[in-house]
């Protein structure tokens, strides 16, 4: 079976990541994939990732029927967004955008630099706005009650001692929720998903135990948990859900 719909999925960089799981799930659901990637950033985190893993993820999605285009893109550069949208157009008009990327360099009120603040907002918020805008500009202006395109963004409640990350995620949330209101009449559905803490390689035993103890359901979330919700929101059955900030965290947020 040949996939017929195109999704732009950001954040694919390592096998253990949430975006990698989403990529394979969407390939199974009939989506072609445009993957903006930045191997140098993934490699510097020291928890896996890089060009070889990106290639393996793309190959796995291809084996499931998807046409895949990985495009190296620094999302801090607005010109990169133009290239991403052009790559999506080459596969077919993009019908979905899943924002699973972020830059996350921890700093607090007193230690955050202007450079660090600006880069977080450029990558986590401005690039998201430009991609949403690009999707919206491809929608017909005629009003409709049908679903023409969907946007999903992954977010976080983390802010204290991680100020630019948390603040930029807040801006991301507002951007996506604004899209649900402003563009709903043109067929856009837009939602934000908070997956809570998921061990994609960054946790040590102490952190893992602490966060598990704070999760009422007794285990940490997995990339597959987030993938299940994203797949539902992009399915026909999820088309009536829009303008929501959804928790998919096993109840973690209720313990804070």
Q: What are phi and psi of 49, to 5 degrees?
A: 100, 175
As a whole number of Å, the end-to-end CA separation of the chain is 45
The H-or-E segment that residue 211 falls in is helix 205-213
Neighbours of 180 (CB within 10 A): 18
Question: Does residue 256 carry a pLDDT above 80?
Answer: no
Rounded to an integer, the average pLDDT of 129-144 is 97
Distance, in Å, from the CA atom of 216 to the CA atom of 146, rounded to the nearest integer, reads 38
DSSP 47-99: SS-SHHHHHHHHHHHHHTT--EEEEE--TTSHHHHHHHHHHHHHHS-EEEEEE
- The DSSP code for 238 is G
Mean pLDDT is lowest, of 147-151, 175-179, 200-204, 232-236, for: 200-204
Q: Which residues contact 121 (CB under 8 A, 6 or more apart)?
A: 164, 167, 168, 171
Radius of gyration, alpha carbons of the chain: 17
Question: Could you give the 3-state DSSP secondary structure of residue 18?
Answer: helix
DSSP 132-189: HHHHHHTS-SS--SS--EEEEEE-----TT-HHHHHHHHHHHHHHHHHHHHHGGGTEE
CA angle 38/42/47 to nearest 5° reads 165
Q: What are phi and psi of 115, to 5 degrees?
A: -60, -45
Rounded to an integer, the average pLDDT of 121-140 is 98
Task: Give the pLDDT band of residue 49 (cuts 50, 70, 90).
Answer: confident
Mean pLDDT is lowest, of 29-33, 41-45, 93-97, 154-158, for: 41-45
In the numeric block, which tokens belong to residue 221? Answer: 């979330």
List of domains in the chain: 5-255 (3.40.50.720)
pTM of the prediction? 0.95
Q: What are phi and psi of 55, to 5 degrees?
A: -60, -40
In the numeric block, which tokens belong to residue 236? Answer: 């026909």
Distance, in Å, from the CA atom of 65 to the CA atom of 229, rounded to the nearest integer, reads 21
């Amino acid at each position: 079976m040949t996939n017929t719909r195109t999704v732009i999925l950001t954040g694919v960089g390592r096998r253990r990541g949430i975006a990698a799981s989403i990529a394979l799930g969407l390939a199974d659901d009939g989506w072609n994939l445009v993957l903006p990637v930045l191997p140098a950033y993934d490699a510097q985190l020291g928890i896996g990732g890089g060009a070889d893993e990106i290639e393996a993820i793309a190959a796995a999605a291809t084996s499931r029927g998807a046409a895949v285009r990985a495009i190296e893109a620094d999302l801090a550069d607005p010109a990169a967004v133009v290239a991403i949208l052009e790559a999506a157009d080459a596969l077919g008009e993009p019908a979905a955008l899943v924002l699973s990327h972020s830059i996350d360099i921890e700093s607090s009120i007193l230690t955050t630099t202007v450079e660090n603040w600006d880069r977080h907002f450029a990558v986590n918020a401005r690039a998201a706005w430009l991609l949403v805008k690009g999707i919206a500009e491809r929608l017909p202006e005629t009003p409709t009650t049908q679903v023409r395109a969907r946007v999903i963004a992954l977010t976080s409640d983390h802010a204290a001692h991680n100020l630019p990350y948390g603040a930029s995620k807040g801006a991301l949330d507002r951007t996506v929720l604004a899209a649900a209101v402003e563009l709903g009449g043109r067929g856009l559905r837009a939602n934000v998903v908070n997956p809570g803490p998921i061990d994609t390689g960054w946790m040590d035993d102490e952190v893992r135990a602490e966060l598990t103890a704070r999760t009422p359901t007794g285990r940490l979330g997995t990339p597959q948990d987030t993938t299940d919700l994203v797949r539902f929101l992009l399915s026909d059955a999820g088309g009536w859900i829009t303008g929501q900030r959804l928790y998919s965290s096993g109840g973690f947020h209720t313990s804070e």
